[in-house]
Structure formats: C-alpha cells, structure tokens
C-alpha cells in the first residue's frame, strides 16, 4: 500500500509560535491606560466595565483553547510519526536533491519539528514522499 506526501506530519518551529500571554498583557495594558485616563467627572460606566471584563474573559478562554489545541497537535504529530517506525519510506533529506529510501528506525522530536532516521540519515517528517508497508 503506497501513501504519497505525508505533509501533515509537522510541528511549527518555536520561533513561529506566538505567545497568547502577549495578547492578554496588551489587553490589560490598554484596559489600565483607559482607567487611568478616564474623565473623573464621567467615569467608566458599570455596563462598559462589565463588557470589558467579559472581553478579558474571552481572551483568557481563547488562550486556553490555543494551548489545548497546540497540545493536541503535538500528540497527533507524535502518533503519526511513531506510526512510521518500521515502515519503508522514500524521503528527501534537508538540503539534498536525492531522495533516501529505507525503513524508519527512529523518531526524534525537537522544537524544529519531527525527524525520522532513515538509513542513517535524519529526514524531516514533512519531507516524506511515500510510505510503504
């Protein structure tokens, strides 16, 4: 059975990941600036304050959801990569023009992604071109 282009096995590099806490920090900074600079004769209305607190809660929930999705993505990537152990693959090593063919003997996880050991060469999992039994 041949499967072509295993491009869905990847992990975003650490440099590309954005921290959700920066959005939270920015929201809090803007909120505090607004409170400090409000007109004392016309302070922030209760309903406006509640709306902003609800927005803050939404930001926190979005952060939690993003964190859970990242963990799920990592788990799926790990599962897919380990399923390739012992399989015959054709893959293109980084920076090379000649594909390598052989059995996957090891899987390594780094901040830069998932790497497979094929015939003594490390190959990025997203560079797998074909998988055979």
Return the minimum-mean-pLDDT range out of 8-17, 47-56, 75-84, 85-94: 8-17
Those residues with Cβ within 8 angstroms of residue 104's Cβ, 6 or more apart along the chain or in another chain? 84, 85, 86, 87, 89, 116, 117, 118
For residue 47, give its domain range: 3-132
Total count of residues recorded for the chain: 133
Tell me the pTM: 0.53
* pLDDT tens-digit readout, 48-65: 777 877 887 888 899 899
Which ranges constitute the DSSP H helices of the chain?
A: 20-36, 46-83
Structural domain count, the chain:
1
d(CA 89, CA 81): 12
d(CA 31, CA 57): 13
Average pLDDT, the chain: 80
């Amino acid at each position: 059975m041949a499967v072509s282009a295993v491009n869905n096995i990847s992990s975003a590099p650490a440099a590309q990941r954005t921290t959700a806490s920066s959005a939270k920090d920015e929201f809090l900074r803007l909120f505090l600036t607004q409170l400090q600079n409000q007109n004392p004769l016309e302070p922030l209305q209760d309903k406006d304050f509640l709306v902003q607190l609800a927005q803050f809660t939404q930001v926190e929930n979005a952060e939690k959801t993003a964190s859970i999705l990242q963990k799920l993505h990592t788990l799926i990537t790990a599962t897919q990569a380990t399923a390739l152990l012992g399989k015959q693959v054709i893959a293109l090593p980084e920076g090379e023009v000649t594909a390598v063919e052989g059995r996957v003997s090891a899987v390594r996880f780094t901040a830069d992604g998932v790497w497979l050991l094929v015939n003594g060469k490390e190959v990025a999992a997203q560079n797998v071109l074909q998988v055979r039994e």
